Amino acid sequence: NYNFSAGPSALPEDVLKQAQQELLDWHGLGLSIMEMSHRSNEFVGVAAEAEQDLRDLMQIPDNYKVLFMQGGASSQFSMIPMNLLRGKNSADYINTGDWSKKAIQEASRYCEVNVAATTADNNFTSAPAQHELKLNPDAAYVHYTPNETIRGVEFDYIPDTGDVPLVADMSSNILSRPVDVSRFGMIYAGAQKNIGPAGLTVVIVREDLLGNVLPATPALYDYKVNADADSMLNTPPTFGWYLAGLVFKWLKAQGGVEGIAEINRRKAEKLYTAIDSNPFYSNPVATPVRSWMNVPFILANADLDKRFLQEAQEQGLLNLPGHRSVGGMRASIYNAVPEEAVDALIAFMQDFSQRHG
Ligand code: PLP
């Protein structure tokens, strides 16, 4: 079977097998990593290695802290203003869809939000160009969503925000292709797509932005306090952290982010080609910003949606319904979804359209 879930999503089979094997007996100790103290040498070693592997994969510069937090990407929507306003009272947000909107909504509780650009006019099927961004030079930071998971819109450039720190919600495209981390003040991601199990949240943040939180910020939400405690202020999500470490090792074995990017590009290109070349299917997103990770599409005849999904499922092509807010279909083709899965989906789509077109 192939799993096209948007998240929590497919994990690499090799990783699951290794975790299964280690579940009863981690490294000959006769117990699992889940059952050990997070302060043990064993777990501290696992944690440090995962961080180092992530640093290697993304070439994270030394002046960035890497935090392994809890609460999902959504909890960052409020932690970001708590930590990064730094005495300022406004922040810029680029609105390219549902997740940007949620980030804006939450930030509005803490500061003035300037929407620097929105693509609401075209129903969030594009990304604003650099010259369309109405950036405020006094903003505390600029927030954007490089990949909008629901409608499948992925920026094809990194916004230039001058001296204002850029904050990116990379939940659905982290580790999918190389990015220059030094262009960002902060990058964050819920783990449940390209990293590991839900519950873990990765935060990569430039050191000089830390240490000036809103007065009522809980210690657990303070990036500096977390960084100083190596993300072990309290019991961290140990299983998620361990599994993320296995995924990072797996990714290194795939040739790292550069290696997986080649495969991701091929997977996405062939799926969009299959959609564009067949009038039975369509995708409304502007070509340069079509996501490599989330590919929504609709059928020319929506009456066939149910049938499409049912037949797909019968053929082992799982979790293809679009997000409940937009309907249609969506194939999420994250790092762990093999190219054969995309080939199988394309073959099914062609067959289905021949039978029903
Ligand atoms: N941001 C983006 C881009 C997402 O795709 C998601 C979840 O799908 C979230 C945020 C919310 O993540 P979480 O459920 O970890 O809070």
**Pair (48, 156) in one structural domain:** yes
What integer pLDDT is reported at residue 321 of this predicted model? 97
Q: Which regions of 316-357 does DSSP assign to beta strands (E)? A: 317-318, 329-332
pLDDT above 90 (res 92): yes
Q: Could you tell me the distance, in angstroms and rounded to a whole number, from the CA of residue 99 to the centre of ligand 1?
A: 7
pTM score, two decimals? 0.98
Closest by Cα among 290, 297, 298 to 268: 290
Is the residue at 273 inside a domain?
Answer: yes
What pLDDT, in 10s, does the model give residues 143-173?
Answer: 999 999 999 999 999 999 999 999 999 999 9
**Pair (72, 159) in one structural domain:** yes
User: Where residue 187 sits, what CATH number does that domain have?
Assistant: 3.40.640.10
What integer pLDDT is reported at residue 237 of this predicted model? 96
What integer pLDDT is reported at residue 196 of this predicted model? 97
Measured from the Cα of 150, ligand 1's closest atom is 5
What integer pLDDT is reported at residue 357 of this predicted model? 81
Q: Is the distance from CB of 210 to CB of 218 less than 8 angstroms?
A: no
Q: Hey, whose CA ends up nearest to atom 2 of ligand 1?
A: 171
Number of domains, the chain: 2
Sign, Cα dihedral of 73, 130, 272, 301 = positive
Measured from the Cα of 6, ligand 1's closest atom is 8
Q: What percent of the chain has pLDDT over 90?
A: 99
Q: What's the rounded Cα separation, in Å, for the pair 227 and 205?
A: 10
Measured from the Cα of 170, ligand 1's closest atom is 3
* 253, 272, 287 - which closes a domain: 253
Average pLDDT over residues 218-235: 98
Cα separation values, 52 from 26, 66, 191, 232, 243, Å = 20, 9, 17, 16, 14
Q: Could you tell me the distance, in angstroms and rounded to a whole number, from the CA of residue 301 to the centre of ligand 1?
A: 30
What pLDDT, in 10s, does the model give residues 94-149?
Answer: 999 999 999 999 999 999 999 999 999 999 999 999 999 999 999 999 999 999 99
Q: Which two tokens stand for residue 155?
A: 């920026």
Closest by Cα among 209, 250, 245, 276 to 65: 209
What integer pLDDT is reported at residue 275 of this predicted model? 98
What integer pLDDT is reported at residue 197 of this predicted model? 96
Q: Could you tell me the distance, in angstroms and rounded to a whole number, from the CA of residue 306 to the centre of ligand 1?
A: 26
Q: Could you tell me the distance, in angstroms and rounded to a whole number, from the CA of residue 191 to the centre of ligand 1?
A: 9
Cα separation values, 123 from 94, 95, 230, Å = 14, 11, 42
**Pair (91, 205) in one structural domain:** yes
Residue positions annotated with a catalytic role? 99, 169, 193
Q: Hey, whose CA ends up nearest to atom 9 of ligand 1?
A: 73
Q: Hey, whose CA ends up nearest to atom 14 of ligand 1?
A: 72
User: Where residue 329 sits, what CATH number does that domain have?
Assistant: 3.90.1150.10
**Pair (247, 260) in one structural domain:** no
Is the residue at 274 inside a domain?
Answer: yes
* Planar angle of CA 196, 202, 203, nearest 5 degrees: 170
What integer pLDDT is reported at residue 211 of this predicted model? 96
Q: Is the distance from CB of 172 to CB of 180 less than 8 angstroms?
A: no
User: Ligand 1 test: best mutation among 105, 124, 172, 176, most atoms within 8 Å of CB?
Assistant: 172
Residue identified by tokens 């005849």 is 301
Q: Hey, whose CA ends up nearest to atom 10 of ligand 1?
A: 73
Is the residue at 1 inside a domain?
Answer: no
User: Ligand 1 test: best mutation among 75, 99, 176, most atoms within 8 Å of CB?
Assistant: 99
Q: What's the rounded Cα separation, in Å, for the pair 171 and 194?
A: 8
Q: Which residues of 234-269 are buried (b: 16+ CB within 10 A; e: fewer)?
A: eebbbbbbbbbbbbbbbbeebebbeebbebbeebbe
Is the residue at 4 inside a domain?
Answer: no
Average pLDDT over residues 21-35: 95
**Pair (99, 244) in one structural domain:** yes
Q: What's the rounded Cα separation, in Å, for the pair 149 and 170?
A: 10
What pLDDT, in 10s, does the model give residues 38-55?
Answer: 999 999 999 999 999 999
Cα separation values, 6 from 11, 17, 87, 318, Å = 12, 22, 37, 11
Measured from the Cα of 7, ligand 1's closest atom is 8
* 199, 223, 253 - which closes a domain: 253
Structural domain including 281 reads 256-356
**Pair (169, 297) in one structural domain:** no
Is the residue at 154 inside a domain?
Answer: yes
Q: Is the distance from CB of 2 to CB of 317 less than 8 angstroms?
A: yes
User: Ligand 1 test: best mutation among 98, 104, 106, 149, most atoms within 8 Å of CB?
Assistant: 149
Which residue ranges make up the annotated binding site for L-glutamate?
39
Closest by Cα among 22, 66, 60, 12 to 42: 22
What integer pLDDT is reported at residue 221 of this predicted model? 98
Is the residue at 313 inside a domain?
Answer: yes
* 253, 284, 302 - which closes a domain: 253
Mean pLDDT score of the chain, rounded to an integer? 97
Q: Hey, whose CA ends up nearest to atom 15 of ligand 1?
A: 72
**Pair (158, 191) in one structural domain:** yes
Q: Hey, whose CA ends up nearest to atom 3 of ligand 1?
A: 171
Pocket of ligand 1 (CB under 6 A): 7, 72-74, 99, 145, 149, 169, 171-172, 190
Cα separation values, 14 from 17, 21, 120, Å = 5, 11, 41
Q: Could you tell me the distance, in angstroms and rounded to a whole number, from the CA of residue 171 to the centre of ligand 1?
A: 6
Q: What percent of the chain has pLDDT over 70?
A: 100
Which residue ranges make up the annotated binding site?
39, 73-74, 99, 149, 169, 192, 234-235
Average pLDDT over residues 312-339: 97
**Pair (32, 122) in one structural domain:** yes
Q: What phi and psi, each to the nearest 5 degrees, are found at residue 262?
A: -60, -45
Sign, Cα dihedral of 100, 142, 128, 119 = positive
pLDDT above 90 (res 86): yes
